[in-house]
Amino acid sequence: MTDHTASLPGTDELRRRALDALRRVGASVPAGTGLSARSPITGETLLDLRADTADDVGRAVDEAAEAFATWRTTPPPVRGELVRVLGELLREHHGDLADLITIEAGKIRSEALGEIQEMIDICDLAVGMSRQLYGRSIASERPGHRLAETWHPLGVVGVISAFNFPAAVWSWNTAVALVCGDTVVWKPSELTPLISIAASRLLDRAIERTGAPAAVHRLLLAGRDGGEALVDDARVALLSATGSTRMGREVGPRVAARFGRSLLELGGNNASVVTPSADLEVTLPGIVFAAAGTAGQRCTTLRRLIVHRDVADEVVDRVAAAYARLNVGDPFDEKTLVGPLVNERAATAMATALDRAAADGGTIVAGGNRLGSGGGVFVEPALVRMPGQTAVVREETFAPILWVLTYDTFDEAVALHNDVPQGLSSSIFTRDQQEAERFLAADGSDCGIANVNIGTSGAEIGGAFGGEKETGGGRESGSDAWKAYMRRATNTINYSDRVALAQNVSFL
């Protein structure tokens, strides 16, 4: 791996870039204390910001609840117009928003631009969706009666997002919630306040252009206490939270205790199965991007490689050679493929996991070293052969570690794949149709996402995104994920001139 950390931009340069991007989108920074905008590129603080308090959370929910009374009766295509204008503004400021993501989350340029494209795509999808919030007609057993299902806006939607997709996950929830007639209160990660300010300002501009109620969206810049206030507020009908399984264990029961709804997108421990028939020219780039992209800080990052024993050595050698060609360093440099970890805690977690693996008999084949001497946390993605699926392999370490396991039979591969608590994304590389179909069958992968001849990362917005088991069971983005943001009503319409009870009940 090539160390490109010697020529990183300085804190002053990053601060200037961030302020320029904010100025171009029309946003200003709430000066004060309580939160700091920092960059993982240098590890240093860029700006100090005012943190919202629990009282601010209450006011934001008050305003969103009041706006909901108007927004829910606004025709869905009119609601879609707001999202259409937001999409236009995202296109106009594509590069500005990508700059902020690179500065605050450390993503390489192409991935940052890709995240903004994902926001644009979900806006396009949601605009079309605004004319397709379909119910259904159901055959009634009673003459002169009709059954129907209708869908109605749910209420205030709280969104708690994570640092690794600081804008896209907000857009998944917000674009869909708005066309469904909901209002949104957003508490982003405290690690990425600047991109949150910019995205929220663009939505405010779209609100101003379309005449939508100003409080259909509210931004909260707060720490854990602000998130907890949002979780516990009974007026928040749906709480969508993206983060660790540990966070989900706290959020889920608290929302359920007040009979609210939760949409949880939690941890992943994603695996790819490589069979003897796999086309390794297709397999290699799928593995390397999924494992090393975003410095291993995606919920869909490839963390386990389950390879047939007959091809394991060749696959490992190819991946190790590809890792050796990865440039690690300045994410603004177009040659860089791996940017920084988000903070020192991530580096400590990675080092601890590698030490545990060595104690279990694992062997580091490539990478695993720390690079650079500055405040930013840069590491080489690690490739580690393991003697089995030990405890550390079954856990999610949010860093670029790829554990290599071997198998002999297809059933063994599926059993290894499913033998983890998480169930987000999965894939198989094979040219055998039977293996592909078995992997996608009910007794194959137990994940919410199952791919063939492609890696675990890079989902399109047209399909529903989410996972099973400790991943939380939530679904966002496309398909019929919109139903999570609405309430269903079953309607019985009697258009006859008599009363007929169901099940032939006779009364009076």
pLDDT digits (tens, 9 = 90+) for 250-292: 999 999 999 999 999 999 999 999 999 999 999 999 999 999 9
Residue 138 pLDDT > 90: yes
Q: Take residue 114 and report the two structure tokens written for it.
A: 């890709």
Contact criterion met (CB below 8 Å) for 400 and 364: no
> What average pLDDT does range 481-506 have in this prediction?
95
The 10 Å Cβ neighbour count of residue 419 is: 12
Query: Can you name the residues that pair with 219 across neighbouring β-strands?
Result: 186
Burial of 375 (0-12, 13-18, 19+ CB in 10 A): middle
Residue 4 pLDDT > 80: no
Contact criterion met (CB below 8 Å) for 365 and 323: no
| CA 18 to each of CA 29, 193, 246: distance values in angstroms, whole numbers, following the listed order | 11, 11, 32
Give the separation between CA 85 and CA 396, rounded to whole angstroms.
39
Task: Identify the active-site residue in 115, 265, 380, 470.
Answer: 265
pLDDT at 374: 83
270-465 domain in CATH 3.40.309.10?
yes
Query: Can you name the residues that pair with 468 across neighbouring β-strands?
Result: 423
DSSP H or E segment with residue 159 = strand 156-160
> HEC states along 324-372?
HCCEEECCCCCCCCECCECCHHHHHHHHHHHHHHHHCCCEEEECCCEEC
pTM here?
0.96
CA 112 to chain centre: 14
Buried/exposed code over 325-350 (b: 16+ C-beta within 10 A; e: otherwise): ebbbbbbbbeebbbbbbbbeebbebb
pLDDT at 154: 98
pLDDT at 5: 79
Residue 1 pLDDT > 90: no
- 384's CB contacts (< 8 A; 6+ apart) are 354, 357, 362, 363, 364, 365, 368, 401, 402, 403, 404
- 499's CB contacts (< 8 A; 6+ apart) are none
Amino acid residing at 403: W
- Tokens 């550390």 locate to 392
Q: Read off the pLDDT of residues 22-37 as tens digits, 9 standing for 90 and up.
A: 999 999 999 999 999 9
Q: Read off the pLDDT of residues 334-393 as tens digits, 9 standing for 90 and up.
A: 999 999 999 999 999 999 999 999 999 999 999 999 998 888 999 999 999 999 999 999
How much is the mean pLDDT over the chain? 97
Q: Read off the pLDDT of residues 391-425 as tens digits, 9 standing for 90 and up.
A: 999 999 999 999 999 999 999 999 999 999 999 99
Contact criterion met (CB below 8 Å) for 231 and 251: yes
pLDDT at 211: 98
Amino acid residing at 410: F
Pick the CATH number of 9-266+472-488 from 3.40.605.10, 3.10.20.30, 3.20.20.70, 3.50.50.60: 3.40.605.10
The CA-CA-CA angle for residues 129, 131, 135, to 5°, reads 90
Band of residue 232 on the pLDDT scale cut at 50, 70, 90: very high
DSSP H or E segment with residue 303 = strand 302-308
Give the separation between CA 208 and CA 202, rounded to whole angstroms.
10
pLDDT at 6: 76
| CA 288 to each of CA 382, 404, 463, 479, 504: distance values in angstroms, whole numbers, following the listed order | 11, 13, 23, 28, 63
Residue 443 pLDDT > 90: yes
pLDDT at 30: 93
| CA 282 to each of CA 209, 406, 431, 440: distance values in angstroms, whole numbers, following the listed order | 46, 20, 11, 19
- Tokens 């931004």 locate to 219
pLDDT at 7: 85
pLDDT at 234: 97
Amino acid residing at 312: A
Band of residue 72 on the pLDDT scale cut at 50, 70, 90: very high
pLDDT at 454: 98
Query: Can you name the residues that pair with 476 across neighbouring β-strands?
Result: 465
- 288's CB contacts (< 8 A; 6+ apart) are 319, 322, 323, 326
468 is catalytic: no
Q: What does the domain layout of the chain look like in residue ranges?
A: 9-266+472-488, 270-465
Give the separation between CA 297 and CA 320, rounded to whole angstroms.
20
Q: Read off the pLDDT of residues 288-308 as tens digits, 9 standing for 90 and up.
A: 999 999 999 999 999 999 999
pLDDT at 406: 98
The number of helices, as runs of H, and strands, as runs of E, in the chain is: 15, 25
